[in-house]
Amino acid sequence: MYHWVTWADIVAYSYPDAKYFNFGVNGGGNQQILSRIMEADQLYKFTKDDLIIVQWTNVAREDRYLDGHWATGGNVYSNSLFDEQFIKKYCNNTHFLLRDLAAIKSVNAFLKGIGCTYFNLSMVDINTINQYENTKVKDIEQTNLFETYKDVLGCIKPSFHSTLFNCDWWSRTPRPTTIYSTGVVCEKDPHPTPAEHLEYLKTVLPELPLAQDIESVISKVNETVLSTNNLSSLQVPVRLGNIKRPSGAMLKIKDFCYGLSGISGAEQIYDIH
Amino acid sequence: MAYKRFFAFGCSFTRYTWTTWADIVAAANPDAEYYNLGEPGSGCNIMLSRIMQADQVYNFNEEDLVIVQWSGINRESRFLKEGWKHMVNSVHHAFAKTFIKMFSDPTHSCLTAYAAMKSVMTLLDSKHVTHYHLSMIPIVDFESTKDEHVHFKPVDGSELDVVKETYKSIIERVRPSYFEKIWNSDWESRPNRPDMKHHIFSTIRKDTHPTPEEHLMYIRAVLPEVEISTEIQDNVMIDNKKVLSQVNLPDGSVKCFVNNTVKRIVIEDVPSVY
């Protein structure tokens, strides 16, 4: 989920008869992904006719549901929610791996049991603890864990970070500009552009056919993203074909759906018009 | 059914210095290899991690019996340099008050705990494992278990109600708790507590953990699927007598797991599971 077209929107565009749910959230970690998937199944009851794609993220993220919403600030090592003392006292990469490898296994066992079509993508390789410093696991405990979960990890497609960016987010140019709601301007936004999202899908998920006109559609969208000061809100003028991101008229599933993890995700259901 | 292996997960109500429900179930399944992978102080997140690791190592199957005793849902465990550390309740916790003040939120606890429970249940369902779910305290009611409260924030009832309604089908699969069944929702209600020497101050306190007899009462009340013979019941009462007749030490020396008929394989015996 980003303020321009992502891999998820490209897949949705390619399957216009499918109702499209996007439960992604900026900065969200794998714990929150597990929680939302389980909650989404409780609400929507996944079936074998569903296509479910999970894009796992950096393990060094910490999600806390606080005061009515998930506080998802991304990597703890570069996240204002957690100070140095917290990191020193409570952050341990083995802990992150123990937590996230269990989450990844849980979700895969769960989706296998549903009998649906499912795929695992990844933002960075799971063994890259700190994507900015490109820190890989080396600790013996962590290596043991990777061995224990070897078959589970084998289900995850290579990451955006390694496939497109050669493990350096700033290796590709040109980058789009984003203006965040705080007013901060990011002149070189490292998030994948729409074209990069398409390139990623074509590289790691060739088994998933995409719409015939996807190249030309994405090319136009990409041009817009690269030539605009993109605002980090949902109301950006970047739309993919007939997929409209709801702005003022977000869908709600039921009366109590406000601000609750997966339930708040329900506010982000995209309708295909 | 004769199980080949029995795996027990939980907190100190599962692995304690004396006989617990898990040992009683193990005694009732004498042909099953018995793994007690519980750990005092555990919260739901460590149980999820440990069960997933255990499945990776042991590959659960239809000949296994797995019983999970879920703990306080607002507990939180973190793996640090020294190993797992637990935030247990308002008195006993390994984390600073600032951590709890900043990050402890009842809705967070419910969302993560119920997701963990669903994850475990669906894994075991999909592998056709016989599995049951027990609980130490009610998994939906924060008010009745104030001792286990670590939250400084008020509980938002309406928000929690939505989460509980969402996970109703999961919550219903967890058997009533010790707190309700044995303690009648009042920790002070049970007399004749065993004596336990404090591990640091050497003072003697009344131990609130279930006695072997209370574990037996609980299993008979909530898990009729497990048949407990008269002989096992008698053995449990022998264990119980020992626990009540001495000052118990917290060093694990009490033992007498169902009158020395069962042997636990514990987490320290399984180096590949953290």
pLDDT bucket at B89, cuts 50 / 70 / 90: low
Q: Which residue has the higher pLDDT, A80 or B93?
A: A80
Region B178-199 average pLDDT: 90
CB contact under 8 A, B49 and A109: no
Q: What is the pLDDT of residue A236?
A: 38
pLDDT at A253 over 70: no
Q: What is the pLDDT of residue A133?
A: 74
CB contact under 8 A, A65 and B107: yes
Tens digit of each residue's pLDDT (9 = 90 or more) over B40-56: 999 999 999 999 999 99
Interface contact B164, partner A, CB < 8 A: no
Q: DSSP for chain A, please give it.
A: --SS--HHHHHHHH-TTS-B-----TT--HHHHHHHHHHHHHHH---TT-EEEEEE--TTB--EEETTEEE--SBGGG-TTS-HHHHHHH--HHHHHHHHHHHHHHHHHHHHHHT-EEEEEESS-TTEEETTTTEEP-SHHHHHHHHHTHHHHTTBPPPHHHHTTTT-TTSSS---EEE-TTS-EESS--SPPHHHHHHHHHHH-TTS---TTHHHHHHHHHHHHHHSEEESSS--S--BTTEE--SS----SSTT-TT-HHHHHHTTPBEE-
Q: What is the pLDDT of residue A5?
A: 87
CB contact under 8 A, B56 and A89: no
Q: Which residue has the higher pLDDT, B160 or B168?
A: B168
Chain A residues close to B55, C-beta within 8 Å: 105
Cβ under 8 Å to B: A residues 43-102: 43, 64-68, 86, 89-90, 92, 94-95, 98-99, 101-102
Region B121-138 average pLDDT: 97
pLDDT at A214 over 80: yes
Q: Which residue has the higher pLDDT, B75 or B32?
A: B32
CB contact under 8 A, A256 and B55: no
The yes/no answer to whether this complex scores an ipTM above 0.90 is: yes
Q: What is the pLDDT of residue A244?
A: 44
pLDDT at B98 over 60: yes
Ranked by mean pLDDT, the top range of A141-150, A198-207, B247-256 is: A198-207
Tens digit of each residue's pLDDT (9 = 90 or more) over A52-83: 999 999 999 999 988 888 888 888 988 888 88
Tens digit of each residue's pLDDT (9 = 90 or more) over A13-54: 888 888 888 888 888 999 999 999 999 899 889 999 999 999
